[in-house]
Structure 1
């Protein structure tokens, strides 16, 4: 339901309850009926109501004090012209109403064929049957007045029923058919709008909208009703904005209006149709208009004299210099890194533990041990310095060097790759010598 009773739980006394109820029919049509018998009703109940020459079924959409407010809004008088509610609809009433509704679509198609045969300039949009199946209302739209007397006779003889022709506007037609708007919501004309006001293109101009008919028109083909929704707010905001009919005259050139921000009270101008726009307040625009009316031309849009412009430039330069000095003094000094203690990484723990005792006996043949137990382990990073005095001096002549006998330290002998073949031959010779010695013994 498109209406909500927010006074339902307010605790209003039932004795003083307003006795008129709002009833909703097909296509969003709403009418008001009096609850004379004080029938207990809730929103959404189907009820049988009195209509001229019969009865009809509708649904309760609103009741209570809100109905009084709606009647005052629609200017409906509370008099004897308001018809009554008979009863709550029974199952038989609903079944008979369903039979009547099943006749609506075939009747609509047949009626359109009859209109085409008679070549009448009208558009049939909807057909509504009463629940007692005694009357049918045909809703149509047309640009000009239509003489449908012959049409009524042909429709009555075709469907054997009383016929009522009702002309509606295109907005009412869209409201009856329903749909979804570009905003993503259900159409306003099919939910809450009951009184359609005329919409002009001036409403789009006041709101600075592009005059594109495809964007401004709704599903009915007319201008959208929502153009009037914010029009009053825009009109109130436009009262403080001056009207600029011609370009503003300044020494920098003639300034032409390009854009206006209504709610921020700002206006953009450009010199001699330049691409650069300059924004000024509406108060400044009115001031320039007064000066131009007195034949006084200001320096530019923002200042009246050139000295003021120079003062503004000097002030801005002073502010920039002050900022430069401020940030130059507060430069972050780089902290010097403390030198690391070299001795921390160079300390080595000497192994003072006694070497493991080796078993007595001859040493196994092979390479001599590089490190004697008398020399402790030394750090590789800081090897001990050799005695420079005892270091042998270089000899130029190699023959003299070969004649001088010297002791060779096996640690100083460079390692050479051993030939596998020579090693294999030496091993075989050693085994033969051992065999000869054993045989001699």
Structure 2
């Protein structure tokens, strides 16, 4: 599906057309679709569907009616109806699959309010379109400066020019409602064009910016995810995850979309578990659930008077005790049903490949200054010892003669 410039080069390395999703075949974007009915002809007497799907910047897709009976294919640049003037986009899908896409998006294909396609874009239309696209980055910087000057709590995330350059759409993100009436006047005075403000969510902004998630892979919203479903903290509770906002939040500041991926599987597994708030009545006392293991089908219970001591029970045993409690029968104790789980030995790291220690950087290094001072002291002692020996006086080695005391006269 990729265009020729996106194919691999020598050594299986991707070339990359560097057109950021606007290459000729429109196959460098996550919104690319494959027309699997392209090689099939319509039955005799059937007319082709007169609506096409056109993509614009920022992943915006809209449906247009081909009233002029133009021969369009995927990748054609067309001039479409806009208010005011016209817009320029790329055809992404044609034929009967467009009817399915319209039904999925809730668009009535028989409505007369569907805008139409004027013509295939001429070279002049493409030149004006490309010149307008080149201005967007400089305008975005200036627009942010003006928003900061007005002290508005909003962020201009992106700018989109209309195909004919007659209107500019500013996409912004904000936590609360923003009064930008004075800001629009400054924009119109500075850029001398028609201004339209459009607020987008933080997830839509993160999908356009892209990045690397905590899993080490590219963000789902910037690679393949197109619909953003609401994510609640209950999804983390059902999966028994830590309710730490720093771990559960993504780069957009909201809860991660991947919390919903395995939620249905956990909900199906929890259907076979008794209620977490279930209390077991025994002759020793009442017990309440403290923990669940969804994968192994185990539940941990503790008495009200001894929460530190937990007893492990299978869900079948818990159901058996619940049925007896409903009949008014109390079991003797949880110890009769508890499982004995052997403590697993701790796994030690074995250096089988002869690699260096993983904690080699954790050990404090010895300061080099102390070693240098010690070496200097040794050298000074060695240099001073010969001088001491030279300065010492030679000892008198003559024998000592003892004389007898003479009588004094």
Q: Normalized against structure 1, the TM-score is what?
A: 0.61
Distance in 2 (alpha carbons) for counterparts of 1:219 and 1:69: 33
SS class of match (1:103): helix
Q: CA deviation at 1:264?
A: 5.1
SS class of match (1:136): strand
1:213 counterpart = 2:245: yes
SS class of match (2:93): strand
SS class of match (1:107): helix
Distance 1:50 1:125, change over 3 A: same
String of CA shifts for 1:164-199, please: whole Å, max 9, x gaps.
111122122223333343445554434555553332
Distance in 1 (alpha carbons) for counterparts of 2:93 and 2:245: 38
String of CA shifts for 1:356-375, please: whole Å, max 9, x gaps.
xxxxxxxxxxxxxxxxxxxx
2:55 pairs with one of 17, 24, 32: 24
SS class of match (1:102): helix
Distance in 2 (alpha carbons) for counterparts of 1:184 and 1:58: 34
For 1:97, the equivalent position in structure 2 comes to: 129
2:322 pairs with one of 289, 301, 325: 289
1:7 pairs with one of 36, 39, 44: 36
Q: CA deviation at 1:55?
A: 1.7
Q: Normalized against structure 2, the TM-score is what?
A: 0.65
Distance in 2 (alpha carbons) for counterparts of 1:112 and 1:235: 45
Distance in 2 (alpha carbons) for counterparts of 1:95 and 1:235: 55
The answer to whether the 8 A contact 1:28-1:191 is kept is no
Q: CA deviation at 1:268?
A: 4.2
1:47 counterpart = 2:43: no
Distance in 2 (alpha carbons) for counterparts of 1:220 and 1:202: 19
String of CA shifts for 1:11-31, please: whole Å, max 9, x gaps.
251744332222221111111
For 2:117, the equivalent position in structure 1 comes to: 85
Distance 1:6 1:49, change over 3 A: closer
Q: CA deviation at 1:255?
A: 5.6
For 1:437, the equivalent position in structure 2 comes to: none
Q: CA deviation at 1:294?
A: 4.4
1:165 pairs with one of 197, 216, 221: 197
SS class of match (1:108): helix
Distance in 2 (alpha carbons) for counterparts of 1:264 and 1:24: 48
1:278 counterpart = 2:307: no
String of CA shifts for 1:285-314, please: whole Å, max 9, x gaps.
12212323445333455857x9xx9xxxxx
SS class of match (2:152): coil
Q: CA deviation at 1:274?
A: 5.9
- Structure 2, unaligned stretches of length 5 or more? 1-28, 340-409
- Of structures 1 and 2, the larger Rg is shown by 1
Distance in 2 (alpha carbons) for counterparts of 1:66 and 1:197: 24
For 1:298, the equivalent position in structure 2 comes to: 331
For 1:110, the equivalent position in structure 2 comes to: 142
Range that drifts further, 267-276 or 163-172: 267-276
Distance 1:188 1:59, change over 3 A: farther
Q: CA deviation at 1:126?
A: 0.9
1:72 pairs with one of 92, 100, 103: 103
RMSD, aligned α-carbons: 3.1
The answer to whether the 8 A contact 1:270-1:278 is kept is no
The answer to whether the 8 A contact 1:22-1:30 is kept is yes
For 1:189, the equivalent position in structure 2 comes to: 221
SS class of match (2:160): strand
Q: CA deviation at 1:127?
A: 0.9
The answer to whether the 8 A contact 2:300-2:310 is kept is no
Distance 1:180 1:68, change over 3 A: farther
Distance 1:96 1:120, change over 3 A: same
